[in-house]
Structure 1
Amino acid sequence: MDETGSAPGSAREVWRRAARDRTRRFSKLAAAAGAAIGRWSAAEAGRLALWAPVAIGSGAAFYFSLRVEPPGFSGVLLLAAAVLAARAFSGDWRRAVAAGIALAALGFLAADLRAALVAAPPFERALTPREVTGRLVSVEESAASRRFVIAVDSIARLPPGATPARVRVSWRGREFEALPGERIRLRAGLNPPPPPAAPGAFDFARHLYFQRIGAVGYAVTAPERLDAEETPFAGRLRARVETARLALARRIVAAAPGEGGAIVAAVATGKREAIPEAAERALQRSGLAHLLAISGLHMGLATGLVFFAVRLALAAVEPAALRHPIKKWAAAAALAAGVGYLILSGGGWSARRAFIMTSIVFLAILADRRALSLRNVAIAASVILLTTPEAVMHPGFQMSFAAATALIAAYEWASRRADPSRSFAFDARARRYVVGIAATDAIAATATAPFALYHFNYAAIYSLPANLAAMPLMAFWIMPFALTALALAPLGLDGWAWRAAAQGVDWILAVARAVSSQPGAVAFTPQWPPAALGALTLGGLWLCLQSAPWRLAGLAAIPLAGVMIALSPPPDLFVAGSGENLAVRVKDDTDGPMLAAFDPRKDRFALDLWKEAAGLDPEAAPTGRLREVGRCGPEGCVAVLRGARLAVSTDPLGLAEDCARADLVVALYFLDGANGRACAARLVDRGAVWREGAHAVWIGRDGAIRIRTVAEMRGKRPWTGAGG
Structure 2
Amino acid sequence: MPRWTALELWAERERTQLALWMPVAWGLGIALWFVLPDPRGWAALICVAGGVGLAAFTLSGGGRVTRAIGMAALLVGGGAALAWARAESVAAPVLARPVLATMTGAVEGVDRLAARGLMRLMLRPLEASVGRGRAIMLPPHVRVSLPIEDVPGGLGRGAIIRLRARLMPPAGPIARGGHDFARAAWFQGIGATGRGFAPVEVLRPSSRGEGLRQRLSSHIFARIEGSAGGIAAALATGDVGGIGEADAEAMRRAGLAHLLSVSGLHITAVVGIVMVLTIRLLALWPWLALRVRLPLVGALAGAVAAIGYTALTGAEVPTIRSCVAAMLVLAALALGREAMTLRLVAAGAFIVLLFRPEALMGASFQLSFAAITAIVALHEHPAMRRWFGPHPDWRWSAARQLGALLVTGLVVEAALMPIAIYHFHKAGLYGAFANIVAIPWTTFVAMPLEMLALLLDPVGLGAPFWWLLGHALGALLWLARQVAAMPGAVMALPVAPNGAFAVTILGGLWVALWRTRWRWLGVPGVAIGVIAMLAAPLPDLIVTGDGRHAAIRTGGGMALLRERAGDYVRNALSEIGGSDDAPLALVDQAEARCGADICLTRIMRDGRVWRVAATRSGYALPWASLIALCDRVDIMIADRRLPEACRPRWLKLDALALRRSGGVTIQLSGPVAETARMPGDRHPWIVASEARGR
2:14 to 21, 30, 44: 44
Deviations 1:689-722 (A, max 9, x none): 355432222222xxx5433333446823222324
Q: C-alpha offsets along residues 582-628 of structure 1, whole Å, 9 cap, x if unaligned?
A: 22113x2xx4xx11233322354333222222221044x65554642
Deviation of 1:227 (Å): 4.5
Which secondary structure state, in structure 2, belongs to the residue aligned with residue 179 of structure 1? coil
Quick check: 1:118–1:210 contact (8 Å CA) kept in 2? yes
Which residue, 321, 324, 343 being the options, matches 2:311? Answer: 343
Q: Is 1:406 aligned with 2:374? A: yes
CA distance in 1, matches of 2:541, 2:336: 61
Shift of 1:494: 4.4
Alignment match, 1:54: 24
Number of aligned pairs?
671
SS at match of 1:221: strand
Do the aligned partners of 1:55 and 1:103 also contact (CA within 8 Å) in 2? yes
Percent identical pairs in the alignment equals 31
Q: SS where residue 553 of structure 2 aligns?
A: strand
Shift of 1:387: 0.5
Q: Would the alpha carbon gap of residues 667 and 169 (structure 1) be closer, same or farther in structure 2, given more than 3 Å must change?
A: closer
1:538 pairs with 2:513:
no
Q: 2:474 aligns with which of 494, 506, 513?
A: 506
User: Once the 2 structures are TM-superposed, how far is the Cα of residue 469 of structure 1 from its aligned partner?
Assistant: 2.6
Alignment of 1:600 with 2:569, yes or no, is no
Measured after TM superposition, the shift of residue 578 of structure 1 is 3.6
Q: 1:328 to 1:636 in 2, by over 3 A?
A: closer
* 1:115 aligns to 2:87 (yes or no): yes
Aligned to 2:469, the other structure's residue is in SS state: helix
1:303 Cα deviation from its structure 2 partner: 0.7
CA-CA distance at 1:442 after TM superposition: 1.0
User: Does the Cα contact within 8 Å between 1:449 and 1:459 map onto a contact in 2?
Assistant: yes
Contact 2:104/2:160 (CA < 8 Å) preserved in 1? no
How far is 1:156 from its partner?
A: 3.0
Q: TM-score scaled by structure 2?
A: 0.89
> Superposed, which structure 2 residues align to 1:500-579 within 5 Å?
500-562=468-530, 564-565=532-533, 568-579=536-547
Cα distance in structure 1, aligned partners of 2:674 and 2:445:
50
Residues 110, 78 of structure 1: CA spacing in aligned structure 2 closer, same or farther, 3 A cutoff?
farther
> What amino acid is aligned across from residue 263 of structure 2 in structure 1?
S
**Counterpart amino acid of residue 143 in structure 2:** R
Corresponding residue to 1:468 among 436, 442, 457 = 436
Deviation of 1:429 (Å): 3.9
Task: Tell me what 2:146 maps to.
Answer: 171
Pair 1:174–1:43, CA change in 2 (3 A): same
- 1:192 is aligned, of 169, 184, 195, to 169
In structure 2, what is the equivalent of residue 661 of structure 1?
632
Indicate conservation of the 8 Å contact 1:132/1:156, yes or no.
no
Could you give the per-residue CA deviations for residues 283-328 of structure 1, whole angstroms, max 9, x where no partner exists?
A: 1111111111222211111111111122122223222223321121
Rounded Cα–Cα distance in structure 1 between residues aligned with 2:421 and 2:303: 35
| 2:611 alignment partner in structure 1 | 646
Q: Distance in 2 between matches of 1:492 and 1:415?
A: 51
**Deviating more after overlay: 69-78 vs 543-552:** 69-78
2:68 to 96, 120, 125: 96
SS in 2 for 1:220: strand
| Secondary structure, counterpart of 1:213 in structure 2 | coil
Number of the residue aligned with 1:7:
none
Whole-angstrom distance in 2 between the partners of 1:276 and 1:347: 24
CA contact under 8 A between 1:637 and 1:648: conserved in structure 2? yes
CA distance in 1, matches of 2:49, 2:468: 54
Specify the code of the residue in structure 2 equivalent to 1:141. L
Q: Which residue of 1 aligns with 2:667?
A: 698
Determine the C-alpha separation between the residues in 1 that align with 2:323 and 2:539: 41
Question: How far apart, CA to CA, are the structure 2 residues paired with 1:252 and 1:439?
Answer: 35
**Is contact 2:128–2:136 with CA below 8 Å preserved after alignment?**
no
Gaps of 5+ in 2: 616-620
1:214 Cα offset (Å)? 0.8
Q: Quick check: 2:57–2:66 contact (8 Å CA) kept in 1?
A: no
Task: Report the counterpart of residue 154 of structure 1 in structure 2.
Answer: 127
Q: Mark the CA change 1:82 to 1:356 in structure 2 (over 3 Å): closer, same or farther.
A: farther
CA contact under 8 A between 2:164 and 2:197: conserved in structure 1? yes
Distance in 2, matches of 1:525 and 1:410, equals 28
Identify if the C-alpha distance between structure 1 residues 369 and 215 changes in structure 2 by more than 3 Å, giving closer, same or farther. same
Match of 1:671 in 2: 642
Contact 2:603–2:611 (8 Å) recurs in 1: yes
Shift of 1:361: 1.7
CA contact (8 A) 1:693 1:709 kept: yes
For residue 541 of structure 1, report the CA deviation from its aligned partner: 0.4
Cα offset, 1:560, TM superposition: 2.0
What secondary structure is seen at the aligned counterpart in 2 of 1:560? helix
* Residue identity matched to 1:136: E
Aligned pair 1:616/2:589, yes or no?
A: no
Distance of 1:188 and 1:631 partners within structure 2: 37
Q: In the superposition, relative to structure 1, how do residues 421 and 503 fare at CA in structure 2: closer, same or farther (>3 Å)? A: closer
The answer for the alignment partner of 1:306 in structure 2 is: 274
Contact 1:200 1:713 (8 Å CA) reproduced:
no
Q: Which of the numbers 448, 472, 485 marks the counterpart of 1:480? A: 448
Larger CA deviation: 465-474 vs 364-373 = 465-474
User: 1:437 maps to which residue?
Assistant: 405
The structure-2 alpha-carbon separation of the partners of 1:73 and 1:611, relative to structure 1 and needing over 3 Å to count, comes to closer
Q: CA RMSD in A?
A: 3.0
Partner of 1:216, secondary structure, is strand
- Corresponding residue for 1:723? 690
Q: How does 1:390-401 map to 2 (within 5 A)?
A: 390-401=358-369
Q: Confirm or deny: 8 A CA contact 1:134 1:154 kept in the other structure.
A: no
> Contact conserved, 2:374 with 2:512, CA < 8 A, in 1?
yes
Q: Deviations over 1:644-679 (max 9, x none)?
A: 422315454443443333322334553233x23x55
1:418 counterpart SS class: helix
What are structure 1's unaligned runs of at least 5 residues?
A: 1-33, 230-235
Q: Which residue of 2 aligns with 1:629?
A: 591
> How far does residue 155 in structure 1 lie from its aligned partner after superposition?
2.8
1:132 and 1:115 mapped to 2: Cα distance?
Answer: 29
**Code of the aligned partner of 2:675:** T
Alignment partners' CA distance in 2, 1:338 and 1:616: 40
In the other structure, the counterpart of 1:24 is none
Aligned to 1:682: 651
Matching of residues 348-359 of structure 1 within 5 Å? 348-359=316-327
Q: Which amino acid aligns with 1:548?
A: T
Q: Output one character per residue of 1:191-229: Cα deviation in whole Å (capped at 9) or x when no partner.
A: 111221112322011111111111001111355444589
- Residue 556 of structure 1 aligns with an amino acid whose one-letter code is P
> Per the alignment, do residues 490 and 367 of structure 1 end up closer, same or farther by CA in structure 2, a change over 3 Å counting?
farther
